[in-house]
Amino acid sequence: MGEVTGRIELADGQAAEQVSVRVKGTTVGVNSAADGTFRLRAPAGWQVLTVTCLGCTPQEVTVEVKAGQTVAAQPVRLAPGEQQLQEVTVRGAKSLNQRTPSVGKMPIAPLDNPQSTVTIEREVLEQQQALRLSDVLTNVSGVYVMGATGGTQEEIASRGFAYSSANTFKNGVRFNNGIMPEVSSLERMEVLKGSAAILYGNVAAGGILNLVTKKPQFERGGSVGLRVGSFGFVKPQFDVYGAVGQSQKVAFRLNGTYERGDSFRDGVKSNRVYVNPSLLFKLTPKTDLVLEGDYLRDNRTPDYGIGAINYQIFDSRTRFLNTADATNATNQSSATATLTSRLNDTWQVRAVAGFQRYDNELRSAARPTANVIKPGRNYGNWQRNLQRTQTAENYYLAQIDLTGTLRTGRIGHTVLVGADADQYNANALSFIAQAYDSLNILDPSRALGRPKGAVSGYDAMRYNTRTLGNTRRAGFYAQDLISLFDHVKVLAGLRWSYQETPTDVYTYPGLALPATNAATVAENRRYDNAFSPRLGLVYQPTKTTSLFASYANSFTPNSGFDEQGGALAPSLIDQYEVGMKNELFKGALSANVTGYRIINSNQAQAILPTDPRFATSRVAAPQELAGEVTSQGVEVDVQSRPLNGISLIAGYSYNTTTYTKSNIYENGSRLRYNPAHTANASLFYSFANAFANNATLRGLSAGFTAYYVGDRVGGRNTRLLDPSTGRPWASGSDAFQLISVPNYFLFDASLGYSYDRFSVRFKMANLLNELSYNLHDDNSINPIAPRNFSATLSYKL
């Protein structure tokens, strides 16, 4: 036996994916990969390879196969077939374990990757009529919304760790998730669970999200549509694409939407405008350049929810505690350039440059904290303060990756070598919080008067601080998937990251104007670096089953100082993962199981005043890397290919995240926001096969989605010791307590109909009208939406 490699190309030189390559007269064969390459084992001697695909002329290639050696077949360029088809409907048929997420940077098949990955394609988003990112996440086990602070964003987490902006990407570039991203522009959503530090530096240990937007196409097409729904919701949208003029070298795509609506919450409203243009330049047969833009203007009422009293939630869906003129205004724009060049059949270079601008102004009442007030006349009374902030950020990124395959003797290698650098320029202005009025949390209509000296409104607020940040990061990384045998592979890699975090804080003495020469300045300079290793082992007893075990390390920079006044080193987080990936029933069903354990064994915590080191400390609030938090759990992901019109997505996750070593919290106590259990199931059925001969009925489709979120805790973890004194924590008005959040089921149902170029879809969400909440601390308690309805009418251009 020997090995044959080669590449299949389209007529314009682009890679041809999923093209059948067979050894004539045998059952041996493979399909070409995403980059058009193929590799197959064949009997020694002269062999004829047959190359076939739908819509192209079959071709044959003769090659001499030498025993124990690898030979390269001549590249094959496909030619269009002469057969003309009246109508062809093409649907994606890749299974979960055949979709390689681009955010992984390497062309590794999921079965070869010792890490859990999930990709949700656009077809699923359209079937489920996804409106927000949270709708998409109901298809992924173990990734959940942990909060909705201010109602302006969806705080996402996985495996007990929050996804900050450092963990959210759009087209492979970090993306500020301080505002809800637009879903209508997505081609797919990729989830890389677990540590991704080797690829992207200081990202949280739970995983990363990558939002992949729609790309230009040379074939002309598009759609226009209108979505309407409960609470005055209206959303027109459009999507057009095609070649620029008659060009075969330049294609475009432009999609966008406008959205406005009220809310099931009293006094809450929103409107947003979104545009996503992109251009594709085919510079050479082997080199592409994609330019992508993104603009979002989002204005909405900030809404910190219904409040709590004595760490207890008094149920309500509508209670609104903000001022009538509160607003959160955001403008976000970005530009990305991606250059991809195939150096030869086995090596490729990819360079990315990105820029993002983020501007936000918040005018809002402060969050209603869970003040402990004894029952009586003043029960539930709350003094409402005003807050105001302005934030401007510029983000720059440059990244280059070299990927390819090679062999050292009988051992195969899939190699990634890369470097990246990015920079955040941040300018944050805050105003002095001031008393405005008083109201009762349980009855906001009760006028309780205004305290003496209360501010008259947002425009009368005085400046407090301006914070100038200029974070700079750089990293170098290398990774190799080593194929020791056909069924045994090792993935090994290492990254070195460097980070500078200079910060200047200007404090103003309550001025109406921010005169810099009248401010005091506090400077802080930090310089951190860390190594992030990764090691994984994959064993494939069959071609459709993969067993894996891996270790990865990530890091989190710290801002404190030790007792000697030295900058606190980054916290290093160890992650262990084992799992099984299966392709069942000839690839019709993918079923993956993953178990993990994540340990932050050197978490930053305060050195208590009762510690002898405190008395000799050179800083006022010394810290040490001695705490520990452990997250462990299991995840199950199941997806099917469409079969006889039926497609299925299901999942389950169990997680426990606890303090396992702490000097102020009880060991074994559970961290907030993380549900112990989540489960999801989505079933979609197309009647196209059942009514294949009935042009009127074959456009029918129906879907059903169920989503379960288990019990969680919010509030504030109970303290055993007071960090300011080192003595037992005193109960009373300042006691910290947890808030129990009820579990809930969400059931959604949808019905669709398509005829010719028209389609209409109906959706009813939260059929059982379940009530629960998303919490942040004890002061942002936001109810989930009640039963609601939406309908979408669209027309294909």
Instruction: Give residue 510's pLDDT.
Output: 65
What is the per-residue DSSP string for 51-107?
EE-TTB--EEEEEEE-TT-EEEPPPEE--B-SPPPS---------GGG---GGG-S-
Residue 647, Cβ density class (10 Å: 0-12 exposed, 13-18 middle, ≥19 buried): buried
Q: What is the mean pLDDT of residues 110-129?
A: 93
Which residue in 229, 232, 317 sits closest to 269, CA to CA?
232
Q: Is residue 62 part of a domain?
A: yes
199 within domain boundaries: no
Assign residue 587 a region (left: φ > 0; alpha: ψ between -120 and 50; beta: otherwise).
left
Q: What is the pLDDT of residue 87?
A: 42
pLDDT digits (tens, 9 = 90+) for 440-484: 888 888 878 888 889 999 999 988 999 999 999 999 999 999 999
Which residue shows structure tokens 């020997």?
2
Angle at 707 between CA 706 and CA 712, to 5 degrees: 155
pLDDT score for 512: 58
Give the model's confidence band at 347: pLDDT under 50 very low, under 70 low, under 90 confident, else very high.
Answer: very high
**What average pLDDT does range 746-763 have in this prediction?**
95
Residue 288 exposed, middle or buried by CB count within 10 Å (0-12, 13-18, 19+):
middle
Domain that holds residue 24: 2-77
Structure tokens at 500: 């500078």
DSSP assignment of 720-760 equals SB-TTTSSBPPPSTT---EEEE--EEEEEEEEEEEETTEEE
Task: Provide the percentage of residues in the chain whose pLDDT is more than 90.
Answer: 61
* Cβ 145 vs Cβ 709: under 8 Å: no
Q: What mean pLDDT comes out for the span 11-16? A: 75
- Please give the full DSSP string across 656-722, using - where no structure is assigned: EEEEEE-SSB-TTPBPSS--SEEEEEEEEEETTTTTTT-TTTTTEEEEEEEEEE--EEEE-PPBSB-
The total of other beta-carbon atoms located within 10 Å of residue 84's CB is: 6
SS3 317: coil
User: 375: buried, middle or exposed (CB in 10 Å: 19+, 13-18, 0-12)?
Assistant: exposed
Q: Which amino acid is at 283?
A: L
Q: Stretch 269-298: mean pLDDT, rounded? A: 96
Number of folded domains that form the chain: 2
Beta bridge partners, 128, equal none
Q: How far apart are CA 748 and CA 703, in angstroms?
A: 8
The reported pLDDT for the residue numbered 147 is 86
Instruction: Give a yes or no: residue 169 inside a domain.
Output: no
CB 576 within 8 A of CB 554: no
8 Å CB contact between 130 and 143: no
Is position 92 within any domain? no
The one-character DSSP state at 585 is T
DSSP assignment of 470-489: EEEEEEEEEEEEEEEETTEE
Strands 70-72 and 2-9 turn out to be: parallel
Instruction: Give the tens place of pLDDT for each residue, 40-79.
Output: 888 888 888 888 887 678 888 888 888 778 888 888 888 7
Domain endpoint, select from 27, 52, 77: 77
Can you tell me whether residue 624 is helix, strand or coil?
A: strand
Pair 139, 678: CB distance under 8 Å: no
CATH code of the domain containing 44: 2.60.40.1120
Does any domain span residue 748? yes
What pLDDT shows up at residue 680? 97
The answer to whether 599 and 656 are in contact (CB under 8 A) is no
Q: What is the DSSP string of 178-236?
A: SSPPPSTTEEEEEEEES--HHHHSS--TTEEEEEEEP---SS-EEEEEEEEETTTEEEE
pLDDT: is 497 or 726 the higher one?
Answer: 497
Q: What's the average model confidence in pLDDT over 729-747?
A: 80
H/E stretch holding 523:
strand 520-524
> Among all chains, which residue has been given the structure tokens 């102004």?
361
Question: How far apart, in Å, do the first and last CA atoms of the chain sit?
Answer: 52
Q: How far apart are CA 264 and CA 287, in angstroms?
A: 50
- Whole-number Å distance between alpha carbons of 338 and 792: 33
Q: Look at residue 86 in the predicted model and tell me its pLDDT.
A: 42
- Top-confidence residue, 508 or 773: 773
pLDDT in tens, 374-394: 677 778 888 899 999 999 999
Q: Which of 612, 640, 636 is nearest to 624 (CA)?
A: 612
Over pLDDT 70: what percentage of the chain? 95
φ, ψ (nearest 5 deg) of residue 641? -75, 155
Question: Is 550's pLDDT higher than 90?
Answer: yes
Q: What is each CA distance from 316 to 203, 468, 776, in whole angstroms?
A: 36, 40, 17
Q: How many CA atoms lie within 13 A of 639 on its CB side?
A: 19
Q: Read off the pLDDT of residues 132-172 as tens digits, 9 standing for 90 and up.
A: 999 999 999 999 998 887 888 899 999 999 888 888 999 99
Note whether residue 27 is domain-resident: yes
Is the per-residue pLDDT at 287 higher than 70? yes
Span 9-20, average pLDDT: 79
Q: What is the pLDDT of residues 75-93, one digit of tens each?
A: 888 876 644 444 444 444 5
Q: What is the DSSP letter of 271?
A: E
With 80 as the cut, is the pLDDT of residue 281 above it? yes
pLDDT tens by residue, 488-540: 999 999 999 999 989 999 888 666 555 555 677 888 888 889 999 999 999 99
- Cα–Cα nearest to 715, from 734, 740, 742, 733: 740
Last residue of a domain, one of 77, 105, 137: 77
Residue 170 resides in a domain: no
Domain end (from 49, 77, 105): 77
